[in-house]
Structure 1
Amino acid sequence: MSSKTRESTVKIRTMTLDDIPYIVELQKASFPQMAAEGVYWKPEQLKEHLKIFPEGQFVAEYHGKIIGSCSSLIVKFEPEYKEHTWIQACGNSKFKNHNPKGDSLYGADVSTHPDYRRLGVATKLYNARKDLAIKLNLRRIIAGGRIFNYCNFAKDLSPTEYVKKVKRREIKEPVLSFQLRNGFKFIKILPNYLKDPRSLNYATFIEWKNPRFIEK
């Protein structure tokens, strides 16, 4: 089967309550080091996401198996590029900060199963978010992204220096490189963003501007 055919069998849909046990296991498989620290979605948190903003929660399904998911909320930042942590953006793990009158879709997480990472799952999930931002006439999508390989370079490079080398393609970086290819712009480094051993708790503030946004 060609890669194009395999990709076409990956279906993106909104999350349901029945998906929750599978998403919890997906999280543990996707982020083993973070899961060891207890950083992964719990069932009661996912239930709250569905209650607060069902349109913003997506799963990727492949032959009946959940192999990807992403969780989102709507926020309003003032100033628009303010420094923040994951908790400050989301309010808490139950998305207390969701603001239906906000102007930005905030990407709280994206998970793809390690055994299915050649199927375009993350791209499809990102596209679902873009479609949602356009549908809701949100000005942009923002997120704090992992710098997955930074732990291997931290002795010699600051996070900003590391990002510059990734952008020049001098360092292979699976997360940021993918985000840049998908139209996101690097804004700045966010320190103490989230407990993440590989990123040493740093994150990239990234932004995608909705080309169809209509100012009201």
Structure 2
Amino acid sequence: MSGPAGEVKVRILSKEDIASIIRLQQESFPHMAKEGTIWNEHHLKSHIQIFPEGQFVAEFEGVIVGSSSSLIVTLRPGYAQHTYTQITGAGMFTTHDPKGDSLYGADVSTHPEMRRLGIATALYDARRKLAIRLNLRRIIAGARLFNYCEYAQEMSAEEYAKKVVAEELSDPVLSFQLKNGFRFIKILPNYLRDSRSLNYAAFIEWKNPEYKTK
């Protein structure tokens, strides 16, 4: 991805990147860092060991400005309720299933000074290419309802999400993912400890248009 200020490159995460990713997480999610719900060194080492090709970093002028983490899962039934801890093996990706049918987006982070420059979109594009290359049926994730705390007294989490889908409200996480081709499925309560979303997430899905039945 090129722009007037330079070029952003997306590549696979390496062990040498771990300290940079931890700093990026702390700067990208300060309230979650205080709550202890960001990646630590042991998480990232496990991701690299278990599913290296699913871990991406975005670099700008040699500096890591974005990252994304993912694993492969199979949900039975296909839209089963789950929590972040359950689906990611408490963040360790021990639930990764190489024979699964869904790429699960566990995390996307962009440095706060580098947002709205297409970095997250580039990371999502890398995920889509991976899902297509591995012939996975879809990409799924739990989208934190980032602004729900500001509306919780007025409406339920489901009502909030539906208003975001209808573009009556804007949410920095869910609105972005909807614009990137995902669709809202349902609400996941008690998904992740997060004061902004009051622990709610939106189950979202992108179907691989090139998927071939196995």
Output aligned runs, 1:129-144, within 5 Å.
129-144=127-142
Residue 154 of structure 1 aligns with an amino acid whose one-letter code is: A
Deviation of the 1:171 alpha carbon: 1.1
Aligned partners of 2:185 and 2:204 also within 8 Å:
yes
Partner of 2:104: 106
- 1:82-133 Cα deviation digits (max 9, x unpaired): 0000011112221110000000000111111101002101100001000000
* 1:174 match: secondary structure: coil
2:172 matches 1:174: yes
Residue 69 of structure 2 aligns with an amino acid whose one-letter code is: S
Distance in 1 (CA, whole Å) between partners of 2:176 and 2:117 is 14
* 2:44 match: secondary structure: helix
Aligned partners of 2:189 and 2:200 also within 8 Å:
yes
- Cα 1:91–1:100 change in 2 (3 A) is same
Distance in 2 (CA, whole Å) between partners of 1:8 and 1:134 is 28
Runs (5+) with no aligned partner, structure 1: none
What percentage of residue pairs aligned between the two structures are identical? 61
* 2:65 match: secondary structure: strand
2:208 matches 1:210: yes
Distance in 2 (CA, whole Å) between partners of 1:176 and 1:185 is 10
Distance in 2 (CA, whole Å) between partners of 1:93 and 1:77 is 17
Distance in 1 (CA, whole Å) between partners of 2:186 and 2:116 is 29
Partner of 1:11: 9
Distance in 2 (CA, whole Å) between partners of 1:201 and 1:58 is 26
Aligned partners of 1:76 and 1:99 also within 8 Å:
yes
Partner of 2:74: 76
* Residue 64 (structure 1) aligned to one of 62, 65, 73: 62
Runs (5+) with no aligned partner, structure 2: none
2:182 matches 1:193: no
Instruction: Give the total of aligned pairs.
Output: 214
Residue 67 of structure 1 aligns with an amino acid whose one-letter code is: V
